[in-house]
Amino acid sequence: MNGMTQTTQREASPVPVPTDLPADSLASGVATLSSPEVLSPEAPTPDALTPDAPTPDEAVERRRAAISPSRAKDFRQCPLLFRYRAVDRLPEPPSQAAVKGSLVHAVLEHLFDLPAPRRTEEAAQELLDPQWQELQASRPDVLSMFSGPEDLGAWLAEARSLLTQYFRMENPTRLEPAEREMLVETELASGILLRGFVDRMDVAPNGMVRVVDYKTGRSPHPRYQDEALFQMRFYALMIWRLHGRVPARLQLVYLGDGRTLTHDPKEEELVALERDLESLWATISESARSQRFAYRTSKLCSWCSFQSLCPAFGGEVPPLPPGGVEHLLTVQAV
């Protein structure tokens, strides 16, 4: 992708984006990070229950398939992992990191339901318990993550500390998001359907758009920043194709270490991403038609839920589910 990556604490922004977050830089194509302390992302750190993961309702509805940022990353990491999630749609046990992300996201979403003066840290903390109860009601299996009350209590304390960190990074009383938890879908000229969920979209009075995503994990090492921004460029591409205007800013808010990664995308990099996604889909569709989804080993295998079904770990690949490949191929309109 175009642009370079640098670490900076400089604050300057000529673009009137409605925010209190450090603006860092609006130089063309530059990704900036608010602090020099970094973490190598060898271990996956899911921030929320994946929006396009299978749910009971979707199992009945079976809407048209689409490529999302998470599924694109899955295929690049391991085609067999992609198959189990996108074709077989196998359930996965909940993880503390992912569920914590879902809980914090829910609290931040509902925080903006309150009038601006009431969007305080105290109000956010008061929202946590009812949102946790709702999450348990929708997914009773989340309680299996904990060995006992002390384990649960420590986990909830971590979630509360993330909310505290949020208020060190933003002042929500000065923000009026245009959209929250927004489902975005767009079909490219090639007929490929893209889908994703945007945590927050801010629109300035002059129409400039900022796309914001909350991360409950820690920020990436500079060498991995481009990979971290893939999801945000994906969102920018969809918004550009839908509305004809490239977002002015993409912003990842890392609550795990209080740092913000920003990038100001350019049209040429989104055109390049579109070509990359079309090439990726060609590879995916070839795998689907041949019914061959190869496994690929890496350090990330340690966190995979499907080791028992992977030949690399002595497992046996099950037959493809009826209609699974056919449904996947609906990604591209014919």
Parallel, antiparallel or unpaired: strands 209-215 and 5-7: unpaired
Which secondary structure element, helix H or strand E, spans residue 328, and what is its range? helix 324-328
Q: Residue 191's pLDDT band (boundaries 50, 70, 90)? A: very high
Report the pLDDT value the prediction gives residue 323, as an integer from 0 to 100: 96
Give the rounded distance of the alpha carbon of 217 from its chain centre.
12
Q: Looking at residue 70, what is its pLDDT?
A: 97
What is the side-by-side strand order in the sheet with 31-33?
A: 5-7, 31-33, 259-263, 249-254, 209-215, 193-203, 179-187
Mean pLDDT of 63-75: 97
Residue scoring higher pLDDT (310 or 6): 310
Asked whether residue 197 carries a pLDDT value surpassing 70, the answer given is yes
- Triad 90, 96, 101: Cα angle to 5°: 90
In 52-70, which positions are buried (b, 16+ CB within 10 angstroms) versus exposed (e)? bbeeeeeeeeeeebbbbbb
pLDDT at 231 exceeding the cut of 80? yes
pLDDT digits (tens, 9 = 90+) for 86-109: 999 999 999 999 999 999 999 999
Q: Return the DSSP state at 253.
A: E
Please state the pTM of the whole predicted model: 0.84
Dihedral sign for Cα atoms in the order 77, 78, 82, 85: negative
**How many CB atoms within 10 Å of residue 262?**
27
Confidence band (pLDDT; 50, 70, 90) for 44? low
Domain regions of the chain by residue span: 96-174
3-state secondary structure of 301: helix
Confidence of residue 256 (pLDDT cuts 50, 70, 90): very high
pLDDT at position 29 is: 47
* Confidence label for 32 from pLDDT (cuts 50, 70 and 90): low
DSSP annotation string for 128-151: HHHHHHHHHHH-GGGGGG-SSHHH
Q: What's the pLDDT tens digit per position in 15-25?
A: 334 433 333 33
DSSP state of 48: S
Share of the chain above pLDDT 90, in %: 80
